[in-house]
Chain A
């Protein structure tokens, strides 16, 4: 069973460009979470999605950031008009449906390291 896949692993953008980060959850997982890790800091929750639904976006910046998890395909975290402060590692995690065995455990991908020049 393949783990959580994220691509690209490294992404370089200039200020003002758009960044698209992709996450494919583990097979059978219907919940996806996005976290951001700033340099020398812990991970901060951004958004929690199920297929076609945003469940909790309390950690998302109000502007420029959006996330989706369509019925088909990977989850996408989109950052418009990037600024230098967006430089960070963005991690995706997935979990099984709530109530199933291990439903409270999240499995993390290797992350996408975004650098904004």
Chain B
């Protein structure tokens, strides 16, 4: 079945550091890929998405590129802020979309001054 693997956290960085959170997936066909962010006590918010190979999703300084050859969708940001502290989830939806999301276990990011 479909699955998503994320690097384990927590990841602790100093403000303005470079961020990479690795995500790889296993799926048949051509899934859509997503990054969601969850702030403490809140629901998930869509951060960015990509629906086909080589697409780059970007939002709020974050970006991720859909790499079919390596089945990866790594999240990056050039300079993190304290306000980026949250849990980040990589997810996929099956070919055709509009279907259930399969999530990774989440990676907690802590950004310190």
List A residues at the B interface (Cβ < 8 Å): 4, 6, 31, 33, 35, 41-45, 48, 56, 58-59, 91, 93, 95, 98-99, 103-111
B60 at the interface (CB under 8 A from A): no
Q: How far is the CA of A41 from the CA of B51 in the complex (A)?
A: 25
User: Residue A42 contacts which of B96, B100, B104 (CB distance < 8 angstroms)?
Assistant: B104
B45 at the interface (CB under 8 A from A): yes
Residue contact A43 to B89, C-beta cutoff 8 Å: yes
Interface-central residue, A43, A45, A107, by most chain B CB under 10 Å: A43
Distance (Å) between the CB of B24 and the closest chain A CB?
14
Q: Which residues of B contact A109 (CB under 8 A)?
A: 43
Q: Which residues of B contact A93 (CB under 8 A)?
A: 44, 101
User: Residue B51 contacts which of A33, A44, A56, A104 (CB distance < 8 angstroms)?
Assistant: A104
Interface string of B24-38 (1 = CB under 8 A from A): 000000001010100
Q: How far is the CA of A104 from the CA of B94 in the complex (A)?
A: 9
Residue contact B43 to A59, C-beta cutoff 8 Å: no
Distance (Å) between the CB of B55 and the closest chain A CB?
13
